[in-house]
Structure 1
Amino acid sequence: MQVDFYHLTMAPLDRLLPVIADRVMAGGGRLLIVSGDADQRAALDRQLWMVPADGFLPHAQAGEGNDGIQPILIAADVQPTNGARHVALADGQWRDEALSFERAFHFFDGDRIAEARAAWRALADREGVERRYWKQNDQGRWEQAA
């Protein structure tokens, strides 16, 4: 399983997450977006209706529709009721339940860097876990740094 750590320094989550979600869907996958913050979940819900500019990313918040048919589900907990094999941890908080997915995207900003470092170290010796650390360069492009 792969865990991608995204350190948000220049681009905000609401610009990066739709790109990741679109790529997951383009590959035939489903995505679970997890945040313990209800306001953040509502903001991400609104954002996914507007991006990409030429359409939208089909999604719902958990419990507001038929969760099982949603290609992208926004939830408070790591419960893939939509059958997702990809999980995006949007609130900067690492959850070990993400290790049951094929791929996890862990987004964090400067306020959560210490927690992200602790998660990175904790995953170092986990068998079958491949870690990747992504950061933005001066042009705003994402580069794999580790």
Structure 2
Amino acid sequence: MGVAMFYHLTQRPLEATLPMLLDRALAAGWRVVVRGTDPARLDWLDEKLWLGPEDGFLPHGRAGGPHDALQPVLLTERGDLPNDPACLMAVDGAAVSAEEAGRMERTCILFDGNDTQALQAARGLWRSLTAAGCAAQYWSEESGSWKKKAES
């Protein structure tokens, strides 16, 4: 069973933080599902990932195509996991079950620390995952660099 890592975004937006985490997951040899809640927002994120740094390429795809199972990173709003990921990254309040978190090497929950609803949703998810026995870590970037602030 892996760990659920909660990333409290306060300094950098999702479109800056997500590529860094995806790079690390891919370097570990993991396939990743990025689960969101809004198809339009995922389309926007898909575009941002394609425009990434000039010196890099982040292979990914948007769910619903014929090659979903082959994608190293798959962006979706659905609950299925067609690319057999080792890592699940939840954005914009997407749901994650304790069963899913338990099957993953890593589960990342990224939430906007400047959004009260997102903060409350992340706290609720922390409580439900830890109550179900999932290991969890809380990471904050409020000091300008990522620091682990809590662990269960």
Q: Same fold (TM over 0.5)?
A: yes
| Deviates further, 22-31 or 118-127 | 118-127
Using the TM superposition, give the Cα deviation of residue 125 of structure 1 relative to its aligned residue in structure 2, in angstroms: 2.8
* Residue of structure 2 equivalent to 1:91: 92
Q: Which letter does structure 2 place at the counterpart of 1:144?
A: K
Q: Which letter does structure 1 place at the counterpart of 2:26?
A: M
Give unpaired runs (5+ residues) of structure 2.
Answer: none
* Residue of structure 2 equivalent to 1:27: 28
Q: Which letter does structure 1 place at the counterpart of 2:110?
A: F
Using the TM superposition, give the Cα deviation of residue 65 of structure 1 relative to its aligned residue in structure 2, in angstroms: 3.7
| Deviates further, 48-57 or 65-74 | 48-57
Q: Which letter does structure 2 place at the counterpart of 1:28?
A: G
1:8 and 1:108 in contact (8 A); partners too? yes
Residue 106 (1) aligns with residue 112 (2): no
1:30 and 1:85 in contact (8 A); partners too? yes
Aligned residue runs from structure 1 range 61-140, under 5 A: 61-96=62-97, 98-99=100-101, 100-109=103-112, 110=115, 111-127=117-133, 129-138=134-143, 140=144
1:94 and 1:106 in contact (8 A); partners too? no
* Residue of structure 1 equivalent to 2:147: 143
Number of matched residues?
144
Give the structure-2-normalised TM-score. 0.87
Percentage of pairs with the same residue: 35
Using the TM superposition, give the Cα deviation of residue 43 of structure 1 relative to its aligned residue in structure 2, in angstroms: 1.3
Using the TM superposition, give the Cα deviation of residue 131 of structure 1 relative to its aligned residue in structure 2, in angstroms: 0.4
Cα gap change, 1:78 to 1:103, in 2 (>3 Å)? farther
Q: CA RMSD in A?
A: 1.5
Stretches of 4+ aligned residues off by more than 3 angstroms: none
Per-residue CA deviations over 1:30-50 (Å, capped at 9, x if unaligned) read 100011111210111112112
| Deviates further, 11-20 or 114-123 | 114-123
1:88 and 1:105 in contact (8 A); partners too? yes
Cα gap change, 1:5 to 1:20, in 2 (>3 Å)? same
| Deviates further, 28-37 or 102-111 | 102-111
Give unpaired runs (5+ residues) of structure 1.
Answer: none
2:4 and 2:106 in contact (8 A); partners too? yes
